[in-house]
Amino acid sequence: MSTTPMSPGFDEIHILWTSEGMSCDGDSVSITAATLPSIEDVILGAIPGLPKVHLHNKVLAYETGAPFLEPFWAAARGELEPFIFVVEGSIPNENINGEGYWSAMGNDENGDPKPLTRWIDELAPKAWAVVAAGTCATYGGIHAMAGNPTGCMGLADYLGYNFRSAGGLPIVNVPGCPVQPDNFMETLLWCLYMAAGLSPPIPLDDMLRPTWLFGKTVHEGCDRAAYYEQGDFAKDYNSPKCLVKVGCWGPVVNCNVTKRGWMDGLGGCPNVGGICIGCTMPGFPDKFMPFMDEPPGGSLSSAIVSVYGPFIRRMRAITNKGANHEPKWRHNRPELTTGYDPRFTPSSSS
């Protein structure tokens, strides 16, 4: 997907972050672990070239109540700009809320709870950029699974995949349950550099994900991939081998945590013994359940690999045995057996 080139060159920008969608606030908590860059570096102005950033996120705010909500109200009135609108949490369908509401943030002009969807209606078109944080906000996530009573959906389901912000940008989706800390902060950094007029448009795929983060599978970066190739599978979780037979969906899931790790390069589900349950994917969770069974595609591909994998393992064991010995010319005997040929020395050729 192409995004419109923008070079606004803002000196200051607000980030209005609502986590009032159906969520556990886990994405807000997750980004506190980011290091590339950290949220502190962004807010405290430690990164050259960025606009001054004012973050309004209830988990990280000092203010509560009306003082916390004031920037949101001002933005809704059109009195605060520019701002990036970050949405965390699944969007409930307020058309089917009976006589109440599913999710609200603060009160409206009548003193009634103001539904999240009204905030989105008012803020998203005024925002310079709109970012969905985590799988709940991007695609609906757990709250949107079959049988749910709220009719939950992702932000692009609500606003439309063709939505464009005031800055002319599509929604930027950063999925993950929760979002991987550096994936989110790196994406935000790109948006902030765009706001400063210092970066090209952010490249997004057709599900509005940053292409450089979600273009490869878990399997392609997994520490255990060599075991898979050799047809060597774990039978339980107390094993360093490939986890596909105990439920890992890594071969068909777009996620980079096996490459990137989770915190400061450490972790990344299968790398540290957790099966991939596809939490970044638009089809999560329904298309990956039941979680602990061997995935259907995994069973076929692991059956094929089982035919040649043991042969590869045996051949590699032979090569490994040879490579584990030093060459025979390394010795302490009084003769040189390295194959050295004096004809090629400078003195003999002159």
CB closer to ligand SF4, 172 vs 277:
277
CB closer to ligand SF4, 176 vs 181:
176
CB closer to ligand SF4, 140 vs 250:
250
**Residues sharing a CB contact under 8 Å with residue 110, sequence separation 6 or more, in sequence order:** none
CB closer to ligand SF4, 132 vs 257:
257
Can residue 252 be called a binding residue for ligand SF4 (CB under 6 A)? Answer: no
Question: How many residues at the interface with ligand SF4, by CB under 6 A?
Answer: 23
Burial class of residue 22, CB neighbours in 10 A (0-12, 13-18, 19+)? buried
Q: Least CB distance from residue 92 to ligand SF4, whole Å?
A: 23
Among 190, 269, 282, 305, binds ligand SF4 (CB under 6 A): 269
CB closer to ligand SF4, 50 vs 248:
248
Q: Least CB distance from residue 336 to ligand SF4, whole Å?
A: 47
Among 115, 140, 176, 285, binds ligand SF4 (CB under 6 A): 176
The candidate with the shortest Cα–Cα distance to 317, out of 233, 224, 240, 230, is 230
Can residue 179 be called a binding residue for ligand SF4 (CB under 6 A)? Answer: no
Tell me the pairing of strands 113-115 and 104-107. antiparallel
Sign of CA dihedral 145, 146, 152, 157: positive
Among 280, 282, 285, 305, binds ligand SF4 (CB under 6 A): 280
CB closer to ligand SF4, 94 vs 220:
220
Q: Least CB distance from residue 195 to ligand SF4, whole Å?
A: 28
Q: How far is CA 42 from CA 69, 162, 256, 332, in A?
A: 22, 29, 23, 60
Sheet with 12-18: strands ordered across: 52-57, 12-18, 83-88, 129-133, 172-174
Question: Alpha helices of the chain — where are they, by DSSP H?
Answer: 26-31, 39-43, 65-76, 116-123, 134-139, 155-159, 181-195, 211-214, 225-229, 257-260, 296-323, 346-349
Among 50, 53, 104, 279, binds ligand SF4 (CB under 6 A): 279
Please give the angle made by the CA atoms of 274, 276 and 277, to the nearest 5 degrees. Answer: 115
CA atoms of 270 and 267, how far apart (whole Å): 8
Q: Using CB under 6 A, which of the segments 85-93, 100-108, 166-174, 277-285 binds ligand SF4?
A: 277-285
Which residues ranging from 191 to 250 are in contact with ligand SF4 (CB under 6 A)?
Answer: 218-219, 222, 224-225, 228, 242-244, 248, 250
Q: Is the peptide bond before 295 cis (omega within 30 degrees of 0)?
A: no
Tell me the pairing of strands 104-107 and 52-57. unpaired
Among 69, 155, 191, 255, binds ligand SF4 (CB under 6 A): 255
Q: Using CB under 6 A, which of the segments 12-20, 113-121, 183-191, 252-260 binds ligand SF4?
A: 252-260
Binding region for ligand SF4 (CB under 6 A): 176, 218-219, 222, 224-225, 228, 242-244, 248, 250-251, 253, 255, 257, 269-270, 276-280
